[in-house]
Structure 1
């Protein structure tokens, strides 16, 4: 009965979340249903198990969500994202529309801007370019998706995304884990994605299909899409309507400067500054008895985002119509996504505490192929079922993180390789049709799954699966590099 309870609860969570019900309400209800069917004490699981898991996630990741929300909103209101997109698209021109859209999407998201913020700039920009190039609008989401939420979210070394950060405390790594494998995987994703887009463009021109589809104005994001999108990202889409945008953006050099600050500062903190300092005091009880490896990666990203926020403010202070309103909106944008992902983590904590979960644990580690394969399968399944890479990743690592680290030690697997396999695996099947990022991008574009999703599957799922297989093979043969 316990296993049936887990499956029923997970199915209920998936269905209601897809229907637009708030995960804040659905996740504890599903967790309590699993406990009820298993004959476990409900109130104890709600206040002790569920809230304990959710609270630990909030305590660990609130600084990063907060600083990331501030950064996204400041970059948007200062006009920096628009300035970057305009410069890149102008340099590449209409003849290379696909490459221009992919590159613009990649630059802003690799630098730490939330994909949800970027969409509201990238979609209008892409629409104008597709019109000028006379390309069908149905290909826009595939191009934006390739640049915005594939290699820049889960693969490229140093990307300050939540997806790339969550494994760090479990494996004692940084966002630059396995840089060589990361670059190879990124190249595979870009190469396959651009090949597919080029093929789709050629087919459209051969068929005489010009610019059609998509709406000319950005729609108002309804509450259902907001509820579906928030668990899949790190920015509440509703806050994009708040704050005041600058009339004129900064020059390209000043616009891109905060993105450079993020990457450079993160690199220096992760690999140069922090490793040379003495953090032995962290083992004391007053600091939670933790280790430097468990916090160094998180600290590096926090410092990098803080420095980038300060840079945006200093460069654009006179340009921002109302810095306080922008800061307020950025701070508020972090609350809903963080709490929704924490709710999913709480659900996972209850499930992991049920006696029947031992059956699930045994099934995961019985998967043939070794720890890397079982880790990859577990991440793909949970990310696909929940429709969120970060949520699925947090659930799996909370339940199995210690076990995978033990297996890595037993099989002499570098934790950096475990980190990269984790992020890449969670960033594949998470983009199934019910994923909030997919839903939001399609709504902003004024397009449907029927019009655009097949091309998105190829650029944001198939490309990532090919890269994941390549990294699994290379990592198994040569180890991490």
Structure 2
């Protein structure tokens, strides 16, 4: 019966999130409901002594990376730097390679550290204009944007500064470059298969006489000609993030003197620190160099700061819910059931991660929950922590884009399209192909030991 209560609250989380109820409200209510129905401990104890400490600890660990990433993304968008880079790539690849252009431009921004939501708003007008010029059905544009933003640059490519890639660094003691060979393998699969799928769909539609389509785009979004930094200047912040992050991760924080200094403080080096420092330096560079493009600097920094709050509080709320579920006696039965499945442990990691991400409709929420619920158990299996890091993220990037996913809903709203028009192709490039890549990575690692 108690196991059914846990499953019921998970289904409730998915259903009500799809109906638009905020996770900030849902997670604590459902956590208290689980405690009340199982009678393991008082529901107010669950809120104050289990849920809140877990949520607060998550915010303590990850708030700096969330706020730095949000401000960086806001400044890249507000200054026009993101638009300049994407427009440059698209113009030089041309309408003949319209799909590839949109995917690569989106991927550059995402891998450069621009937040996913900023990328969506930056890429829509340019991608729409490119698809319109090439005669490609607009309904395929969301798939192209999600392929570049929600897949290989978010979960697979080693070194991506997206906050999702920093989450396992603390519990697993890894860096954002964890399992580079496996990450590159998965990333290549996602990019190549995703491009081939969208091109196939476009060619099939165009052969049937379908073109861009008749869409209401009377506003000025598609013709934004406001001043932007030059391409090189627009690229500098991204290069700064790459270079500083790489140097700090692979040299400074690996030097014996630095390691010894933190050991004397009875702590270990935090895998998010290099990313935070790199983003901070890039932010300062933009504030100084982009002054003529940032007409209200204080407002942009404020908006970026505030924009970081909802994502981190949503995820922290989900982690708090996970902590309550973990504390229930029925969870021992669930863990035993997972452990009893006769498959390699890495497949259990992937199955748990993608299931939780699918229920919540969020890769970061799923990752946060799986790290809170089973992170230590997975480490105790003896699996290489770097492989764990990468597999958890690859799997979380699978079912996270079910129809109730907030990022998908936002993207479709920005593109002025519906689930019926575009979701099928989004599902292929953000769920089917990433899960195939995760499965391949696990098989390759188990067969060869590749990391």
If the TM-score is normalised by the length of the shorter chain, which range does it land in?
over 0.9
Asked if 1:268 corresponds to 2:247, the answer is yes
**Between 274-283 and 203-212, the greater mean CA deviation after superposition:** 274-283
Structure 1 pair 218–327 and aligned structure 2 pair: CA distance change class (3 A): farther
Q: Distance in 2 between matches of 1:163 and 1:327?
A: 22
Question: TM-score, structure 1 length as denominator?
Answer: 0.90
Contact 2:252 2:258 in 1 (8 A): no
Counterpart residue number, 2:258: 278
Contact 1:246 1:320 in 2 (8 A): no
Asked if 1:19 corresponds to 2:22, the answer is no
Q: Distance in 1 between matches of 2:252 and 2:406?
A: 37
Asked if 1:50 corresponds to 2:51, the answer is yes
Structure 1 pair 15–400 and aligned structure 2 pair: CA distance change class (3 A): same
Q: Distance in 2 between matches of 1:325 and 1:246?
A: 22
Counterpart residue number, 2:442: 472
Counterpart residue number, 1:445: 415
Contact 1:106 1:152 in 2 (8 A): yes
Q: CA deviation at 1:105?
A: 0.5
Q: CA deviation at 1:343?
A: 0.6
Q: Distance in 1 between matches of 2:21 and 2:88?
A: 40
Asked if 1:378 corresponds to 2:378, the answer is no
**Between 98-107 and 470-479, the greater mean CA deviation after superposition:** 470-479
SS at match of 2:408: helix
Q: CA deviation at 1:253?
A: 0.6
Q: Distance in 2 between matches of 1:74 and 1:359?
A: 48
Contact 1:28 1:46 in 2 (8 A): yes
The one of 403, 416, 432 equivalent to 2:402 is 432
Counterpart residue number, 1:291: 268
Q: CA deviation at 1:319?
A: 2.5
Q: CA deviation at 1:261?
A: 1.1
Alignment of 1:208-219 (within 5 A): 208-212=209-213, 214-216=215-217
Q: Distance in 2 between matches of 1:281 and 1:349?
A: 33
Q: Residue by residue, what CA displacement relative to the aligned partner does 1:196-245 show, whole Å, maximum 9, x if unpaired? A: 1111111012101011155416899xxxxxxxxxxxxxxxxxxxxxxxx9
Q: Residue by residue, what CA displacement relative to the aligned partner does 1:66-91 show, whole Å, maximum 9, x if unpaired? A: 10110011111111011011111100
Q: CA deviation at 1:368?
A: 2.3
Alignment of 1:330-345 (within 5 A): 330-345=304-319
Structure 1 pair 217–374 and aligned structure 2 pair: CA distance change class (3 A): farther
Q: Distance in 2 between matches of 1:33 and 1:426?
A: 26
SS at match of 2:381: helix
Contact 1:379 1:396 in 2 (8 A): yes
**Between 347-356 and 9-18, the greater mean CA deviation after superposition:** 9-18
Counterpart residue number, 2:334: 360
Q: Distance in 2 between matches of 1:52 and 1:209?
A: 55
Alignment of 1:73-92 (within 5 A): 73-92=74-93
Counterpart residue number, 1:394: 368
Root mean square deviation of aligned Cα: 1.7
Counterpart residue number, 1:223: none
**Between 51-60 and 19-28, the greater mean CA deviation after superposition:** 19-28
Q: Distance in 2 between matches of 1:193 and 1:375?
A: 24
Q: Distance in 2 between matches of 1:217 and 1:362?
A: 58
Asked if 1:305 corresponds to 2:279, the answer is yes
Q: Distance in 1 between matches of 2:75 and 2:121?
A: 14
Contact 1:79 1:246 in 2 (8 A): no
The one of 257, 264, 281 equivalent to 2:236 is 257
Q: Distance in 1 between matches of 2:435 and 2:103?
A: 19
SS at match of 1:278: helix
Asked if 1:322 corresponds to 2:323, the answer is no
Structure 1 pair 253–441 and aligned structure 2 pair: CA distance change class (3 A): same
Q: CA deviation at 1:162?
A: 1.7
Counterpart residue number, 2:384: 414
Q: Distance in 2 between matches of 1:278 and 1:270?
A: 12
Q: Distance in 2 between matches of 1:206 and 1:439?
A: 29
Q: Distance in 1 between matches of 2:359 and 2:25?
A: 18
Aligned residues: 447
Q: Which runs of 5+ in 1 are unaligned?
A: 221-244
Counterpart residue number, 2:35: 35
Structure 1 pair 142–213 and aligned structure 2 pair: CA distance change class (3 A): farther
Contact 2:13 2:359 in 1 (8 A): no
Contact 1:380 1:429 in 2 (8 A): yes
Q: Distance in 2 between matches of 1:270 and 1:83?
A: 29
